[in-house]
Amino acid sequence: MLRYALKRLGSLLISLIVASLVIFFTLEVVPGDPASFMLGINAQPETLEALREELGLNATKAERYLSWVTGLVTGDLGISYTYRSPVSEIVAERLVISLPLALYALILTVVIAFPVGILAATKRGSLTDVAVMGGTQLGVAIPNFWFAMIMVLIFAINLRWFSAGGFPGWDAGFLVAIKALTVPAIALALPQASILARVMRSSLLDTLSEDYIRTSRAKGLTKRQALRRHALRNALIPVLTIIGLQLSFLLAGAIIIENVFFLPGLGRLVFQAISQRDLIVVESVVMLLVFAVIVVNFLVDLAYVWVDPRLKDRT
């Protein structure tokens, strides 16, 4: 177990180094100069030069890579070119929206998907099953930005139940803040819930057809009892894997939804930073996201092996 963990830790470190190189050098070839973006079309050449010097853009690529990476290791993400404040502060400010939004959407996903998936699986082949599965097909196929727009039209403009977007901040009160995140969370959750419900259903059907369930049915358990006592727990493994993937997707993949609802989240920060050539922000945030996913994967792998040592040879 320890040897396995160490080996995985080694490849994790290599992955991180490779990721940092890929991120830094793909972004370094991005055409466009942050200084000329900031100073606009009337700037004088010597003014641009002064700003480039101030931003530290005149150092060589290798120097800048090294100072960036050492910064990352020590927890210093650098200073944003355009905002001129520490990247870690900016990111923290965005995370207090992105993280709750992702969690909120994930909770909605689970709350919708579990009952729907179980219902469809237990009533397999029935009209309910067909209707529910048809619904999830639609949910998977609908482009979520389009769905979000329709939601805004209905709930913000026509019914006026919710505001059209924006985030009042957590200091405005928990309920107020949660309310502001509700429509975006629903828009994010719908396709994810559809996917998860489908996974839930097929995973349940898989386990229900396993021999030990048949045995327990033969021993006199009702279908529902068999489901609750045995099938559900075993069916959860693939479901949990999907949930893990979905969380990281929701964290970084909400850019478009953040735009539709003008939420100042992490995705929009990066999107804006790319267009302003605030490369240090882009590099650090992408690195952070990659780091999070890699570490989560590492922990998940370890957990699997811990649960079932046979898996060690199968990763």
Partner 1 sequence: MRNLVLGIALTALFVLGALVSFVWTPYDHTVLEITNKLKPPNGDHWFGTDQYGRDILSMIMVGARTSIAVAIVAVGIGIGLGVPLGLTAAAWNGSVLDEIIMRSNDLIFAFPSLLIAIMITAVYGPSAFNAIIAIGIFNIPVFARVTRGAALSLWTRDYVLAARVSGKGAARISFEHILPNLMNLLIVQGTIQFSLGILAEAALSYVGLGAQPPTPSWGRMLAESQTLFMLAPHITLFPGFAILLTVLGLNLAGDGLRDLLDPKLRRVAR
Partner 2 sequence: MNHLLLGTVTAAALMTGAAIAKDVTVGLQLEPPHLDPTSAAAGAIDQVLYSNVFEGLTRFGSDGSVNPGLAESWDISEDGLTYTFNLRAGVKFHDGTDLDASDVVFSLDRARAEDSVNAQKALFANIVSVAAQDDTTVKVTLSKPQGNFLFNMAWGDAVIVAPESIETIKSNPVGTGAFTFADWKQGDSITLTRNDGYWGTPAKLDGATFKFISDPTAAFAAMMAEDIDAFYGYPAPENLAQFEADPRFTVLAGNTEGETIMAMNNKLPPFDNKLVRQAVSHAIDRSAIIDGAMFGYGTPIGSHFAPHNPAYVDLTGNSEYDPEKAKALLAEAGFADGFTTTLKLPPPSYARRGGEIIAAQLREVGIETEISNLEWAQWLEQAFKGYDYGLTIVSHTEPMDIGIYARPEYYFQYDNADFQKLIAELDVENDPAKRTEMMQGAQKIISEDYVNAYLFQLALTSVVSSDLNGIWPNAPTQAVDLTAVSWAE
Closer to partner 1 by CB, 154 or 178: give it: 154
Helix, coil or strand: residue 44:
coil
Q: What are phi and psi of 66, to 5 degrees?
A: -60, -45
Return the number of the residue (274 or 302) whose C-beta is nearest partner 1: 274
Does 33 contact partner 1 by CB under 8 A? no
Rounded to 10°, the helix 279-307/232-252 angle is 170
Residue with structure tokens 């819930």? 193
100 binds, among partner 1, partner 2, none (CB under 5 to 8 A by kind): none
- Dihedrals φ, ψ of 168, to 5°? -75, -10
CA–CA separation, 94 and 272 (whole Å): 13
Distances (CA, A) of 262 to 59, 164, 166, 167, 255: 36, 9, 5, 8, 10
Residue from the set 15, 82, 128, 234 that interacts with partner 1 by CB under 8 A: 15
Stretch that binds partner 1, among 79-87, 91-99, 167-175, 199-207 (CB under 8 A): 199-207
Give 99 or 274: the residue with its C-beta nearer to partner 2: 274
Applying CB under 8 A, which part among 80-88, 131-139, 293-301, 304-312 lies near partner 2? 80-88
| CA-to-CA dists, residue 28 to 37, 221, 277, angstroms | 16, 63, 10
Q: CB under 5 to 8 A by kind: which of partner 2, partner 1, none does 252 bind?
A: partner 1
Q: 159: helix, coil or strand?
A: coil
Residue pair 274/208 in contact by the 8 Å Cβ criterion: no
Residues 225-264, one symbol each (x = binds partner 2 by CB under 8 A, - = not), give ----------------------------------xxxx-x
How many amino acids of this chain bind partner 1 (CB under 8 A)? Answer: 47
Figure out which of the listed residues 7, 61, 84, 233 binds partner 2, where binding follows CB under 8 A: 84
Check if the beta carbon of residue 248 is closer than 8 Å to that of residue 240.
no
Of 128 and 248, nearer to partner 1 (C-beta) is 248
DSSP code string of 186-249: HHHHHHHHHHHHHHHHHHHHHHHTSHHHHHHHHTT--HHHHIIIIIHHHHHHHHHHHHHHHHHH
Q: Can you list the positions of beta strands (E) in the chain?
A: none
Out of partner 1, partner 2, none, what residue 21 binds, judged by CB under 5 to 8 A for its kind, is none
Q: What residues line the site for partner 2 (CB under 8 A)?
A: 31-34, 36-44, 46-47, 50-51, 53-54, 82-85, 90, 93-94, 149, 152-153, 156-157, 160, 163-167, 169, 173, 175-176, 259-262, 264-265, 268-269, 272, 274-277
Q: What residues line the site for partner 1 (CB under 8 A)?
A: 11, 14-15, 18-19, 26-27, 29-32, 137-138, 140-143, 145-146, 149, 153, 157, 202, 205-206, 209, 248-249, 252-253, 255-256, 259, 267, 270-271, 274-275, 282, 286, 289-290, 293-294, 297, 313, 315
